[in-house]
Amino acid sequence: MQANSQTITIALSKGRPLKETLPLFAAVGIEPLEDVHTSRKLIFETTQPNVRMIIIRSADVPTYVQYGVADLGVTGKDVLLEHGAEDMYELLDLGVSRCKLMTAKIKGAQPPLGKIKVATKFINVARQYYAKKGQQVELIKLHGGMELAPIMNLADVIVDIVDTGNTLKANGLETDEYIADVSARVIASRLALKMKDEKINPIIEMLKNAVNK
């Protein structure tokens, strides 16, 4: 069911982004009426009568926005790069959940000449990155535990999110090549901005002020 013309639905990402974005929305007067961290609900009414929040996986946020189920969404730049931004606008960098999208390999290892094997969940990002470099690669889709791939000779390198780098170090890996900076971004569909701009624009402006404080 699509959001109606009176209600603004905001899709928020579970996990760390949720903990770091909720205070920003609270600063502009939008707070869930229940504890989203303990409730099993996925839809939450807020302190604003015509604004509700849905809590979903980060990777699903662009889909909910693209199909008009959510008017606004908050997800990582990594997700947007992987998903693509068709019919969506990136309105604001919230400056939270910062990390980097990088390649990594076994410490001190030299990738083989010619085609290399790359393990990642960011298949589209990796394909585009290596295509720009003119590097032939075999892409291997994984959903987690990327660090294991080079150790077990499944892949020569990985493409993954890097925060502190401690997990890489603990598994004998090191960062290699930088791909992109990642942080939480506010997105909206082209249709939502056209149909609900009078409701969406004030929220975005208030969020900008909250981020810049």
pTM equals 0.91
Amino acid identity, residue 177? E
Instruction: State the burial class of residue 168 (Cβ atoms within 10 Å of its Cβ: 0-12, 13-18, 19+).
Output: buried
Q: Domains in the chain: how many in total?
A: 2
Q: Is the separation of the CB atoms in 195 and 72 below 8 Å?
A: no
What letter would DSSP give residue 3?
-
- Judge if 206 and 164 occupy the same domain: no
Q: Is the separation of the CB atoms in 173 and 147 below 8 Å?
A: yes
Q: Is residue 2 part of a domain?
A: no
- Judge if 52 and 104 occupy the same domain: no
- Judge if 125 and 91 occupy the same domain: no
Sequential pLDDT tens for the chain (213 residues) = 444 567 999 999 999 999 999 999 999 999 999 999 999 999 999 999 999 999 999 999 999 999 999 999 999 999 999 998 778 999 999 999 999 999 999 999 988 888 999 999 999 999 999 999 999 999 999 999 999 999 999 999 999 999 999 999 999 999 999 999 999 999 999 999 999 999 999 999 999 999 998
- Judge if 13 and 92 occupy the same domain: yes
DSSP 175-191: EEEEEEEE-EEEEEEHH
